[in-house]
Amino acid sequence: MMAKRLPTILPDLSFKEALEITKIYSVAGELKKDSGIIMNRPFRNPHHSITASSIIGGGKIPKPGEISLAHLGVLFLDELPEFNKKILELLREPLEDKTVTISRLNCSLTYPCNFMFVASMNPCPCGYYGMIEKQCTCSELAIKNYLGKISGPLLDRIDIHIEVKPVKYENLNNKNPEETSEVIRKRVNNARKIQQKRYENLKVYSNAELMPKLIEKYCKLDDESKKILNVAFEKLGLSARAYTKVLKVARTIADLEGKTNIEKEHIIEAIGYRSLDKKYGEKF
Ligand SMILES: [Zn+2]
């Protein structure tokens, strides 16, 4: 449910971005007649039975796949372990490069694929592992095989991991008013504006695109935050990639609050989003 509502809080499209998306849909033959320019960020959620060429792109004259159709939008894979492991591994390079090159005998084509990757999964095949209310019926081997479908390197490329506990019945009727998507979207747009101004002339549009040198410059920490991050790094066994992801996520949390500097609270929150590193690291 959360993933499907994500498009309602994504930042507005610039005209340049809208053109890029429209071009891809046109090449893919997915543009309806008279539909004009696409003005919304795409949300793609292919089924787990999808083939490699449908997700990456392919065919005799290579057409864009789901990763390119999700360019500047969201690619959502529900029930991640149900996908073919080989297909999941194919996502690693495009996630890193934000482009994909499809080579054929007589041609080689490169398509953009700068998408937000969102995935969901259960803790085990039956879905009840680690829950107090219900007993998990899976064998240890079944859980290991299930989680083993998600490789460490793929998990490492995901910025934010969140464990969602089941909602209790009494909370379903919670009458407390929640923030609307419109309010959240305003905050997101503001954070984007802050980033665009900060990275003017750098060919970087968001914190996610920061390279190591720029991370050093724009994600500075005070001594206390540095200490906290170092302890977490050891305890969670974070990779170098995860380390920079924590810094970038903390920068974004600070931007959403309109803060100039990354503060202790921001770094603690960002570390909290790496909880699966340790959990899944142990299971492999
Ligand atoms: Zn289970």
Is 136 in the same domain as 15? Answer: yes
Last residue of a domain, one of 172, 206, 241: 172
Ligand 1 midpoint to CA 155 (Å) = 21
Which pLDDT belongs to residue 168? 75
Is 163 in the same domain as 260? Answer: no
Query: Does pLDDT of 163 surpass 90?
Result: no
How far is Cα 75 from Cα 211, in angstroms, rounded to an integer?
Answer: 23
Q: Does some domain include residue 48?
A: yes
Ligand 1 midpoint to CA 50 (Å) = 25
Query: Does pLDDT of 144 surpass 60?
Result: yes
Span 123-141, pLDDT tens digits: 899 988 888 878 999 999 9
Ligand 1 midpoint to CA 126 (Å) = 4
Is 146 in the same domain as 196? Answer: no
Is 194 in the same domain as 236? Answer: yes
- Domain of residue 126 covers 7-172
75 close to 66: Cβ distance less than 8 angstroms = yes
Ligand 1 midpoint to CA 146 (Å) = 10
Is 137 in the same domain as 237? Answer: no
Which pLDDT belongs to residue 238? 83
Could you tell me what percent of the chain has a pLDDT over 70?
97
Query: Does pLDDT of 265 surpass 90?
Result: yes
What is the arithmetic mean of pLDDT over 132-160? 89
Which pLDDT belongs to residue 200? 93
Is 14 in the same domain as 121? Answer: yes
Last residue of a domain, one of 143, 172, 201: 172
What's the pTM value of the predicted model, to 2 decimals? 0.90
Ligand 1 midpoint to CA 165 (Å) = 15
Which pLDDT belongs to residue 246? 95
Which pLDDT belongs to residue 284? 40
Ligand 1 midpoint to CA 261 (Å) = 43
Which pLDDT belongs to residue 283? 43
Q: Does some domain include residue 41?
A: yes
CATH code of the domain containing 75: 3.40.50
Query: Does pLDDT of 264 surpass 80?
Result: yes
Is 203 in the same domain as 235? Answer: yes
What is the arithmetic mean of pLDDT over 240-245? 89
Ligand 1 midpoint to CA 119 (Å) = 19
Of 155 and 227, the structure prediction assigns the larger pLDDT to: 227
What is the arithmetic mean of pLDDT over 114-118? 95
Which pLDDT belongs to residue 106? 80
Last residue of a domain, one of 152, 172, 192: 172
Query: Does pLDDT of 281 surpass 50?
Result: yes
Is 45 in the same domain as 162? Answer: yes
Of 107 and 64, the structure prediction assigns the larger pLDDT to: 64
Ligand 1 midpoint to CA 51 (Å) = 28
Q: Does some domain include residue 2?
A: no
**If DSSP states are collapsed to H, E and C, what string results for the chain?**
CHHHHHHHHCCCCCHHHHHHHHHHHHHCCCCCCCCCCCCCCCEECCCCCCCHHHHHEECCCCEECHHHHCCCCEEEECCHHHCCHHHHHHCHHHHHHCEEEEECCCCEEEEECCCEEEECCCCCCCCCCCCCCCCCCCCHHHHHHHHHCCCHHHHHCCCCCCCCCCCCHHHHCCCCCCCCHHHHHHHHHHHHHHHHHHCCCCCCCCHHHCCHHHHHHHCCCCHHHHHHHHHHHHHHCCCHHHHHHHHHHHHHHHHHCCCCCCCHHHHHHHHHCCHHHHHHHHHC
Could you tell me what percent of the chain has a pLDDT over 90?
65
How far is Cα 260 from Cα 280, in angstroms, rounded to an integer?
Answer: 34
Ligand 1 midpoint to CA 129 (Å) = 5
Which pLDDT belongs to residue 107? 83
Q: Does some domain include residue 1?
A: no
Domain count, the chain: 2
Q: How big is the CA angle at 223 (ends 217 and 227), to the nearest 5 degrees?
A: 105
Is 76 in the same domain as 217? Answer: no
Span 16-45, pLDDT tens digits: 999 999 999 999 999 887 878 999 999 999
Of 76 and 128, the structure prediction assigns the larger pLDDT to: 76
Is 157 in the same domain as 85? Answer: yes
Is 162 in the same domain as 185? Answer: no
What is the arithmetic mean of pLDDT over 90-101? 93
Is 109 in the same domain as 234? Answer: no
Which pLDDT belongs to residue 65? 97
Which pLDDT belongs to residue 1? 83
Of 232 and 191, the structure prediction assigns the larger pLDDT to: 191
